[in-house]
């Protein structure tokens, strides 16, 4: 039995728990987890925002640790390697999306790291635990220059922002806005800046302006100020919305240029209201994007190492998860909580 932290219902606190991991199959890797990031998706899931889940739930899909054992058929990693696991731990491997390296869009559905069911029919449990067993194809190598605590949030916040920035060609000459500067948002700023784009942050207030500029933004505006929307109308080629709550999307769409795209990665439970006349007269697009494939996740890790970028984190102990959840709900996070698993 292995130590974990679990929650038993939408309004419950975290408690100590014990879980089992499967025996290693040929291609499996046993990872001793060192750090696990707290993603807002952990909160949405634990709170039942996206529908019913089976409790007890052990969240955590920003996992960084060390390989401690490998199955006999494993070729990609060896004991002692520094590795990571993100939001998915398996997929069919055979559909056209999996073959294209877009396992997150597996036509049969990828196996999420927690709150899913694996190919053995067992419920998956996430990274708020001391160990995890994952098939080697879903394990990422962490570059030596990135410390494990800072590597953890890259496995979700990093790839979820890197992928749309990459897909929609953020780069020199492009004006990119990032809405919400929390876990995902602050990584979007750092990555878009490293890609060479001109980055603007749209946050609720100006409280984090200094940080945003230090992360690489050239401007920073408060969305609570009506004038922001008048001033920035028709400005951006690409907007990445990372906000976990429902926003007035039409106000944000009005900030796009001709042919501009607003990509929603934030995943509030409520449907959004979109007026088509926010899109039609300017040939604008509204899109969604989910994490990224395994190959692209490795690319993102290597890109972050090469450009010397990493998340800004606050390391907490396993006893502080409830408090951290409260602070995430209050947008009081700078900029990702990471659980030190040795405190478990």
Helix, strand or coil for residue 188?
A: helix
60: nearest Cα among 116, 102, 143:
116
CA pair distance 185, 193, nearest whole angstrom: 12
Q: What is the DSSP letter of 301?
A: H
* Residue 104 found at the interface with Zn ion (CB under 5 A): no
Phi, psi of 170 (to 5 degrees): -65, 135
Q: What mask, x for binding Zn ion by CB under 5 A, covers residues 107 to 136?
A: ------------------------------
**Toward Zn ion, which CB reaches closer, 41 or 97?**
41
Interactions with ligand NAP, residue window 248-277 (CB under 6 A): 265-268
Q: At what angle do helices 183-194 and 294-306 cross, to 10 degrees?
A: 70
SS3 260: strand
Return the one option of Zn ion, ligand NAP, none that residue 46 interacts with (CB less than 5 to 8 A, by type): none
Rounded to whole angstroms, the Cα distance separating 43 from 318 reads: 16
Assess 44 for contact with ligand NAP (CB under 6 A): yes
Q: List phi, psi (to 5°) of 338.
A: -130, 125
Note the helical H segments in 108-223.
148-151, 157-167, 183-194, 209-215
> Quick check: 239 and 262 in contact, CB under 8 A?
yes
- Residues forming a β-bridge with 17: 4
According to CB under 6 A, which residues from 149 to 188 bind ligand NAP?
156, 160, 180-185
Count of residues of this chain found to bind ligand NAP when the rule CB under 6 A is applied: 29
Question: Does residue 39 interact with ligand NAP by CB under 6 A?
Answer: yes
Q: Is 156 in the site for Zn ion (CB under 5 A)?
A: yes
Residues between 307 and 336 with contacts to ligand NAP, criterion CB under 6 A? 328, 331, 333
Taking the complex as a whole, the smallest distance from the CB of residue 156 to ligand NAP amounts, in Å, to: 5
Which of Zn ion, ligand NAP, none binds 232 (CB below 5-8 Å, type-dependent)? none
Name the minimum Å distance from CB 108 to ligand NAP: 18
Which member of 113, 200, 242, 278 binds ligand NAP (CB under 6 A)? 242
Nearest to 165 by CA among 259, 256, 40, 296: 296
In the complex, least distance from residue 41 CB atom to ligand NAP, rounded to whole angstroms: 4
Residue 39 found at the interface with Zn ion (CB under 5 A): yes
Selected from 21, 29, 41, 56, the binder of Zn ion by CB under 5 A is 41
- CA gap 289, 36 in Å, rounded: 23
Q: What are the residues binding ligand NAP (CB under 6 A)?
A: 39-41, 44, 156, 160, 180-185, 203-204, 242-245, 247, 265-268, 289-291, 328, 331, 333
Q: Note the residues at the interface with Zn ion (CB under 5 A).
A: 39, 41, 156
């Amino acid at each position: 039995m292995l130590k974990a932290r679990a929650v038993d219902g939408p309004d419950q606190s975290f408690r100590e728990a014990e879980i089992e991991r499967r025996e290693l199959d040929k291609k499996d890797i046993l990872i001793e987890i060192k750090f696990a990031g707290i993603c807002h998706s952990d909160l949405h899931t634990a709170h039942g925002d996206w529908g019913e889940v089976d409790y007890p739930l052990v969240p955590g899909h920003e996992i960084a640790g060390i390989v401690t054992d490998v199955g006999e058929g494993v070729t990609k990693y060896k004991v002692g390697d520094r590795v990571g696991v993100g939001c998915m731990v398996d997929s069919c491997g055979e559909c056209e999306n999996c073959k294209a390296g877009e396992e997150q869009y597996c036509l049969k559905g990828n196996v999420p790291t927690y709150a899913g069911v694996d190919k053995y029919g067992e419920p998956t449990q996430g990274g708020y635990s001391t160990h995890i067993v994952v098939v080697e194809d879903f394990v990422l190598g962490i570059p030596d220059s990135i410390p494990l605590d800072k590597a953890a949030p890259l496995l979700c916040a990093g790839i979820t922002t890197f992928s749309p920035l990459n897909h929609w060609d953020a780069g020199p000459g492009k004006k990119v806005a990032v809405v919400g500067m929390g876990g995902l948002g602050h990584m979007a700023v750092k990555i878009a800046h490293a890609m060479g784009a001109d980055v603007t942050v749209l946050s609720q207030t100006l409280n984090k302006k200094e940080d945003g500029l230090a992360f690489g933004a050239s401007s920073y505006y408060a969305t609570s100020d009506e004038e922001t929307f008048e001033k920035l109308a028709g400005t951006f080629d690409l907007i990445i919305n990372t906000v976990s709550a429902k926003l007035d999307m039409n106000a944000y769409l009005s900030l796009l240029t001709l042919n501009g795209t607003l990509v929603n990665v934030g995943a509030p439970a409520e449907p959004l209201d979109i007026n088509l006349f926010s899109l039609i007269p300017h040939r604008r697009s509204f899109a969604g994007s989910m994490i990224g494939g395994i190959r692209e996740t490795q690319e993102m890790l290597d890109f972050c190492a090469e450009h010397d970028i990493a998340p800004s984190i606050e390391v907490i102990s396993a006893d502080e998860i409830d408090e951290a959840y409260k602070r995430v709900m209050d947008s009081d996070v700078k900029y990702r909580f990471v659980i030190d698993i040795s405190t478990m």
